[in-house]
Structure 1
Amino acid sequence: MSNKTKRIAKGLGASALAVATIASGLSFGAASASAATSTTALSGGGKTFQLIAKQGPNSYSALVAASGAITAGTVKHYGTLAAAQAAAVDITSVPLPDGGFALRTPEGGCVIATDPLSDQHWQLYPYRITANAPWTDCRTTQAAASESFQWWKQDSNGNLVSWVGNRALTSATRTENELVDNGGLVVQQFLLGSAPKGEFVGIPADLGSFYESLTATGTFDADATKKATVSGTAEPGAAITVKNGTTTVASTTADANGDYSVEITAPNKGGALALTVSQMVDGAAAGTANVSLDYGTAVAITGPEDQEDVPAGATAITGAGEAGSSVQVFDNQGRTPIISTTVRTNGTWSGAANLNAGEHVLEAKQLSKGANTTTSTITVNPGQSALTAATITTDEYTPGQRTTFSGTATAGATVDVLAADGTVIAGGVQVAANGSFSFQATPAAGSTEYSFRVRQTMGDATRTDGPFTVDATVDAFAPVTVTRPSTVTPGVENVFTGTATPGATYRVLNASGTQIVPGTFTIDAQGNWTFRRMVSTGATKLDFKLEQTLNGETRTSQLFSIRANAGYPVANTTRSVRPGVTNTFTGTGPAGASYRVLNVSGTQIVPGTFDIDAQGNWTFDRVVSLGAANFKFKLEVTTADGATFTTPLYTVNAASLTPVTVSTTEVFPGQQNTFTGKGEPGATYSVLNMSDTVLDPSIESTFRVDANGDWEFKRVVSTGAANFKFKIRQTLNGQTTTSDLFTIDAATFQAATVDNEYVNAGIWNTFTGTVTPGAAMRVLNTSNNELSGITDLQVAADGKYSFKRIVSATGTKLDFRIEQTHDGKTMIGDTVTLQARTADVTIDNTSVTPGRVNTFTGTATPGATFEVFTPGNVGDTPLASGTVSAQGRFAFDRTVGTGATSYAFKIVLTKDGKQSVSAPFTIAASTR
């Protein structure tokens, strides 16, 4: 491939445009060769600028648009740079095939051209390219006559010393040597007339820099499923865009070598797809190339014609398309093609398919080169139905009997049989290849005719025929029906019920006619029959039929097949019974079912019918006879879906008496102890010693275990005893059991007691009670820290204690615990809570007078002494004291300080050695 290094002509600046081009000795290399194909184009990219020279502070010369006879452009003078820029034409550098470059105007004029290194020269040609005067390299013998660029000769100091020429004619051609010999000619400025020297403005320094030409070629892969590709060469890293008109269809980036390739999404239509490929380099357009991708012929159905009527059966379908492409034909939007073929080399295809009667929409779909998919659609037999009218061939039925009805319809169609109200009697019936179909139904007993309609469906087609009416036959026998069960339960005895001919006798037979239920039974006057039969464990169904006999005539019903359910397990969870009392029986079964309780002979022994709850639980109560060794029963269960069966016989044995347990863990010698435990509910009992001697005379008890199984007795344990040993003998329903020997050890501590029932707030309280004799004692708070404020704590040898403590004046209760320490062991008792009691005291006064003695009166407990204290005073010196009269009245005097706004106090009553404290009273000062 060609060299893709960017070519740069350095030094083409504002003051040395021609010198850098001619005298620097730079070479520009060979231009890229263009591909001689219809899908390849050659382009290049250079720099665009304006040719403007600054003559002075307010003087600019510019190459502007042509006027008059000079078509390439002319030089004009302007006072500002902006005006010159607005008027100047854009000039673009373009590469020349031999390695030089030229500067062109938009109209095609050539401003300057360079030659390769072998013969470097430059020429100024303000010349317009036309159809009659073409050029390829800006090197021509034709030139304009006036107002061209002027040439100047510079001396060694750079001054312009003389004219060399004033027009760019053929004679103006100079070689590099000539330029050197003449002291170095430069295009220093371009003027109008003899304007002074100036300098170029804004000329790029790399006018000779060009981008690699863009090439583009379109190709198709041999695999038709693969997309077409456009590939070629471009400037390395250039952004490549492929468009169809103004629509971008693909884009990519040229690699480091300048190669690119991009897939083109198929247009899904036939013919050529015109594409334009362009490259962008450094944000600037850098050439385009045109490519044409010919996708060939689109598919078309040529036979049959659209809207044509064709007969049912094998139908030839023909068409045209792109040679070698695959074609599939689909019918009525089906997913499976009815024809799959390949387009011949002459561009035609054909195939045959069986079409039934009715409308068909045929679609041909072709996959051709470049993954191009085209379609063609026609409609044949428009508006025709594919379904034929249905008929019914059955002419009679027996009311109440399962009957097969037969008929004809469209082969392959699906039939739904509909009642008059549109409900489906039988659905999804398939019509056989010979056009026949059948369905089963049970017309109502007593009906005289049976009507229905037949709806056919095949594909998108549907039709409904009817109503069809079939007459009933007259029969002396009523049809046999089964009312329950709808399913049978394996492994248990099931109950079967139904209806048949009133007064007829019947037998129960299997499918082979063998009797499967012993005996002959009679259908009652209402036409009801019933029988019981065990269904084998693991059976999937039970088949039977009824043989009716009436007036010497026998009629056998159709075979009834009742499927087996998954089973309705019934379990008895009662493990034992208590003879002589009402027992509660429980178990599990099918949720929502009902049941009756039967004995071993099938007789109901608990009145009523019960329900199994939503959680599957059942229960009933029944007295078990006194002395019975067990209780036997079974359940007759009817499930929510109508299945009725009888469970196996359950046998629940009488329970042994509940073993005795003792809850008491310690005894306190020298005092009466309470013993508790568990036993048989309702049993009587005696307390025995270890020799089985009855201790009842010394026992305080009811000697009967209560309904909850609890027993209790009291007995004094001898002082100094290390333990207490006993047995309990229970008796119930003729059973007697004696427990093992229980040994209850003496407790290390005696439980602490408190005599006080309440506390008085705001005064000293004395607390008394008992602890373990010989034990040390502390009073604790609820955090098990020693309670503050305890005084005069004393514990006597017999365990009686006393201590004092003031309860807060605003306190409502006192909580404390008693800690005992004895023989190196410590025990903390439960929390004792004593509520504060308020004395029943009233005060008559509603106000006080400050600065004088006030008399206070009120009511309190008759005969009690009273003392008056301030609300917060818990000392021993009262403000006043006295005795409440027998009538419950009291009075006292007290001076209220001058300026006081109120007077507050409380009253402590003492009677029979017990004290109580009133609530605080606050009497407001009088404002008079």
Structure 2
Amino acid sequence: MADETDIKNAEEQKPNWIKPEIYHPRPGTVLPGFTVQAGIDLFNPSRWQLKIMEGDKELYFREISAEQYFTHNVGKDAIKPGTRFDVHVHYLLSSIWGQWASLKNLLMADPKPVITEPAEGAITSKRPRVAGRGISGATIKLYQANFGDRIFGTAVVDANGDWQTTPVIDFFDGPFELVVNQTISDTEYWSENVKIIVADPKPVITEPAEGAVTSRRPLVAGRGIPDATINLYQANFGDRIFGTAVVDANGDWQTTPVIDFFEGSFQLVVNQTINNTEYWSDNVRITVAATKPEITAPAVGTVTSRRPLVAGRGIPGATINLYQANIGTVLFGTAVVDANGNWQIIPVVDLYVGTFQLVVSQIISNAEYWSDNVRITVIALRVPVITSPEDGAIVSTDKPMIHGSGYAGATVKLYQGNVGDTVFGTAIVGLDGNWSISPTVAFPKGEFSLTANQSLVSGTSDWAKVVNIRIDV
């Protein structure tokens, strides 16, 4: 082999030898593993040399035995992508090297394909358009990065180096990493991963529900894109932010308003910002109730028994506590306001006989709000007694005759024990102190509990001792 230093310094070269012709590569961009082909028609050389230079820096050198035509495949990793370089070849004839033939300013292409769409962090549908750049004629295959070998789509790079595909299989919801490969000279080259989020970019309010009755600062919760910022507003009414939240890794968010909602009809809406773009939820209409609970029964001035039904309105989910107004801290009963804003309590402690003022509080987010006082008169009317059927009896009809004793002339009403306010039947206590009721509402099958109260003009008694029976129809 000739000395490489001599070659570089152009010593022992025959300037009169005809330069060889370089057939390949063509000027412009070349791919890794490209082939160099050259030849000389008039002579029959014995050896050839190939030299690849980046400016004054030698990148590659080979000396090969060959005659009129020279072919060599340059190593795939010999030249880094993006490098501009020159190819030089010459031949050895009669122990003298001829002049170099040169092909200059070639560019080594990057064999790695590139995904240009969707962008990193984008929110997409399950089958978004995926596009990018590659080597003309190469086949692109689309995968989920680091997750199996399922091909979601394919494309062929066009003459301009562009490709695009629409997935033929749905992407999975949530964070998703795209990757593509292209095959060149039997070698696969992989793109960089691109992280996207597959989801509807519109946030959702899941709580409170449409039509709910709430306090002025209810918990508001929903779904969104992980790490997105949620801002809470009154829909169609200014730009006041009532609360903010960051969507957690599971796609959930929640916020408690830092500003009171306005009482009455109120529409919630939230937005989330992703890649500097705002996406808005659907509006949710609620009713914002007063934070002060209300006693609706008994009415002011009513004469009652020592354990009357006390009922009213409040904020759904709030705890109601019943007290005697302005006197002590005896808790006479509790209730939880239902979804419709209603509550009711039968006292577990006797109200005091005589003038009595009822008051209730409701607790919302650790704050206590008080109702107006309701003044009533409490009398000690004795309770009725259910004598038949006996406790534990099994009856074969869903409308058994109920017997008992009470105060002559009082009106007796029959109820299910400790459940609701449905009246199953009524009767007037006879002069002998006895009463009988044939129920007007059928008892449900299975275990059933009975109770009753009796009323006079002076008020209503407490509840009779509960009798448990079984309806076996």
TM over 0.5: no
Relative to the length of structure 1, the TM-score reads: 0.25
Relative to the length of structure 2, the TM-score reads: 0.42
